[in-house]
Structure 1
Amino acid sequence: MGQKNFILDTNVLIENPKCITALRNGEENNVYLPYTVITELDKLKRDPRIGHIVAQAVHSILKDDKLTILPPAFAEKLRDLNPDDRILKEIMNADIEAPILVTNDRILQIKAGIYSLKSEEYKDSDPFRSDSQMYTGFVDDEQEPYVNSFRWEKGTAIFYGDKENKPISYTHEVWGVKPRNIYQNLALELMLNQDINIVSIQSEAGYGKTFLALASALYLALEKKDNSYEKVYLVKPIWEIGPKMGFLPGTVEEKMQPYVRYVRDLTVKLHEQRPANRIFMETDSDKFRFNQKKFEILPIAYIRGMNLENCIVIIDEMQNMSRSEVRSLLTRMGEGVKCICLGDTRQVDNPYLNESNNGLNWVVKKLRNNKEYAHMVLKGERSRGPITDVVLKTGL
């Protein structure tokens, strides 16, 4: 096919920091970088949403000794132009045979065509994935298993625990809940395992992680006899999506209601499957007030100073908590505590955090391969319903 000369746009590096190596394809092609791209990366590194991805792109540039960066002298003369036009001028000024601009910017592609400059999309997009996404809880055949991980062997999931390895050839049923798929069953295996004190579950919305956690908590606190769990806490950071509602009147429980109504609805659903009277003060019509002695919902700020013992703690939307908040919360937990951490690092609402620098990702990064801890990515073909299924399938 002959050697090609690729020139990269900024957006390609952001979407896949490994694109330089991929496009070079060994020694087959040459890869160039306009100086304007370097200046754009310098500005983007301060953006809290993508600064961690920019850092990866910069690392790829620094370690690649075959990458050619176009000289800055000409680019610095073009300061009055916008970045896209500067990139085009740099390419046309460079002595590169049959250059191919690689960009996913459609407008820039149109402009390139006007100047008779060939352009291509970078189709092998590999967006940044956090540790909590990359480590799924499963290991490959040739990989040494982490403690409390799974491996597929002849179609069966084998659990590699601290004390024993065992096939998960059985199906859990917890508080009347039967798992919809193998992944939900394995998530229940981790939540119910007495040797694992802290479990984290990563998934997109709709795969049932909160429902499974609540079912497990009710079973452990109200039904299972050989444990000392006396209460269930649900802890949640509060970050609104969209316009702010302002201050809400009432008690802590009343203030939290708009943010945790889904918890009450899921708990009522479990109660209807199998009575859980002890966690409610009232169960008439749609009142269903929680009994604070058995089930309490708290914002993260209220945990400071508390000492949690003999309880189940569900931490929901942990991706919206900072590393320091997670450390502060987890160090409140004393004897007899089972902690279930839930979240999705792709849905960070906290404006001061990002896909990598958030509480859930730090938990996976630091606790992985600890005998007290287990993690898995929850997935499957069926979520909460057909609309959610089509959204997840199409990547909307």
Structure 2
Amino acid sequence: MAKKNSATKLFVLDTNVLMHDPSSIFRFEEHDIYLPMVTLEELDNNKKGVSEVARNARQTSRNLEEIIGTNEESLEKGRSLGIKGNTHVTGKLFLQTTALPHDLPMLAGSKADNQILGIVSYLKNIHPDRQVILVSKDINIRIKARALGIAAEDYFNDKVLEDTEMLYTGITELPEDFWEKHSKDMESWQENGRMFYRLTGPMCPNFSVNEFIFYEFDKPFHAIVRKISGKTATLEIIKDFINGKHNIWGINARNREQNFALNLLMDPDIDFVTLLGQAGTGKTLLTLAAGLAQTLDKKIYNEIIMTRVTVPVGEDIGFLPGTEEEKMTPWMGALEDNLDVLNKTDEEAGEWGRAATQDLIRSR
């Protein structure tokens, strides 16, 4: 294998990474990929069938064929990974082309994992100035690798971010001196009963459209960013759903975050809203109230479609008998509970009115 700049790393991929994500070979940017022959053998052994693993194995094989192509040059020099629109990928793909010593004294036998570990160990020895790292979804092979002094990592590219503090929050708290730096040449106007401000200042380029900003000092200020142009931002004062006069199906926001959420949910110009919060913070209740108000009262929409992942709490309840509606009843408990809460808020309708409303909702 040709020598490479020691600043880049050499990643040896386990078969399970390729069968988990066929595009994983394009995820390492400037670094190189090495595939042992045993990895290709395992791909071939798992390509048959209709399962997702089999489909991924076949797709990986197609990707590899496209990378290697019909070029008759020696594979020892590697093949560029910058294909299929992956122009940002500058690394190369290397395949095992010769028999390599892969026997490790403490790992006897011809088990595929042990062969891969032996090859990684060999590559580490012949590239002392370069980081050689094993990437695998198998925790046991990673443990064995570390016991042998081999760097090993999990494949994280497709994992959901677990640190919620790093997620985009959708809100920004303004500093106390915000108006001192942004009030110069400020414009304000009303349009269709809505209040707008146009500000220019150093913080404006950092705002995002539909992001909430709030100022909690001498004169509280809550607004949503509607437009950004260079260092100028157009803001709209949000509606106060904490005020009892602005309830949505009898529901009022109980804090600043719920107020922000209702402003998003009640805005027909915003097509997609994501709410993140702990259980019991009102995500389902607010969403359902906003949906009912805009479907039954304002007639903006024709129907509400609610989907949810059927993940059981505790043990799996298994297959359920009955009709489709009866099968879904255990999974729709949260919806039913929130509908009951919303119906109880309609005090003027009485018992008959609430029952009629609930029947209407369930029949749509």
- TM-score, length-scaled by structure 1: 0.47
Instruction: Indicate whether 1:20 and 2:39 are aligned.
Output: no
Write the distance in 1 (CA, Å) between the matches of 2:349 and 2:60: 52
Structure with max Cα Rg: 2
Is 1:150 aligned to residue 223 of structure 2?
no
Q: Does structure 2 retain, via aligned residues, the 8 Å contact 1:34–1:90?
A: yes
1:171 maps to 240
Runs (5+) with no aligned partner, structure 2 = 1-5, 68-79, 83-88, 104-108, 172-202, 216-221, 228-232, 243-247
1:225-236 aligned within 5 A? 227-228=298-299, 233-236=304-307
Any residues of structure 2 matched to 1:116-195 within 5 Å, and which?
116-121=148-153, 125-128=156-159, 149-151=209-211, 158-160=224-226, 165-173=234-242, 174-179=248-253, 182-195=256-269
Give the paired residue count.
268
What is the rounded CA distance, in whole Å, between the counterparts of 1:106 and 1:231 in structure 2?
49
With over 3 angstroms needed to count, the CA separation of the structure-2 counterparts of 1:120 and 1:291, relative to structure 1, is closer
User: Do the aligned partners of 1:5 and 1:96 also contact (CA within 8 Å) in 2?
Assistant: no
SS at match of 1:150: coil
Rounded to whole Å, the distance in 1 between the matches of 2:352 and 2:309 is: 25
The alignment status of 1:111 with 2:136, answered yes or no, reads: no
Closer/same/farther in 2, CA of residues 117 and 38 from structure 1, 3 Å limit = farther
Q: CA deviation at 1:4?
A: 7.2
Q: Who is 1:9 aligned against?
A: 13
The code of the aligned residue for 1:214 comes to L
Question: CA–CA distance in 2 between the matches of 1:136 and 1:257?
Answer: 34
- Establish whether residue 296 from structure 1 lines up as the match of residue 359 from structure 2: no
SS of residue in 2 equivalent to 1:167: strand
Q: CA deviation at 1:266?
A: 0.8
Greater RCO between the two (CA within 8 Å, min separation 6)? 1
In structure 2, do the counterparts of structure 1 residues 276 and 210 end up closer, same or farther at CA, with 3 Å as the change threshold? farther
Structure 1 position 248 matched with structure 2 position 322: yes
Deviation at 1:120, TM superposition (A): 3.7
AA aligned opposite 1:62: L
Pairwise CA distance, 1:3 = 5.0
How far is 1:138 from its partner?
5.7
**For 1:272, which of 332, 335, 344 is the aligned residue?**
344
The equivalent of 1:358 in structure 2 is: none
3-state secondary structure, aligned to 2:118 = helix
Cross-structure match for 1:74? 99
Paired residues of 1:12 and 1:102 also in contact (CA < 8 A): no
Displacement, 1:265?
A: 1.0
Contact 1:6–1:31 (Cα < 8 Å) also in 2: yes
**Residues 253 and 31 (structure 1), Cα distance of their counterparts in 2 relative to 1, 3 Å cut:** closer
8 A Cα contact 2:81 2:91, kept in partner? no
Q: Say whether residues 1:84 and 2:157 are aligned partners.
A: no
Give the alignment partner of residue 201 of structure 1, picking from 262, 271, 274.
274
Aligned 1:378-389 pairs, distance under 5 A: none
Q: Supply the distance in 2 between the matched residues of 1:89 and 1:243 (Cα, whole angstroms).
A: 44
**Residues 253 and 259, structure 2, Cα contact 8 Å, conserved in 1:** yes
After superposition, the Cα gap between the structure-2 partners of 1:158 and 1:89, relative to the gap in structure 1 and judged at 3 Å, is same
- Alignment check: 8 A CA contact 1:5 1:97 kept: no
Structure 1 gaps of 5+ residues are: 25-29, 299-396
Query: Quick one: percent identity of the two aligned structures?
Result: 19
Query: Given that residues 33 and 70 in structure 1 are in contact (C-alpha distance below 8 angstroms), is that contact kept between their aligned partners in structure 2?
Result: yes
Separation in 1, partners of 2:226, 2:47: 42
Q: Alpha-carbon deviations, 1:156-186, whole Å to 9, x = none?
A: 653427xx95334443243343445655433
Q: TM-score, normalised by structure 2?
A: 0.51
Counterpart of 2:218 in structure 1 is none
Deviations 1:57-99 (A, max 9, x none): 9699832453342324538x99x94432231233345473236
3-state DSSP of counterpart to 1:261? helix
Shift of 1:243: 4.3
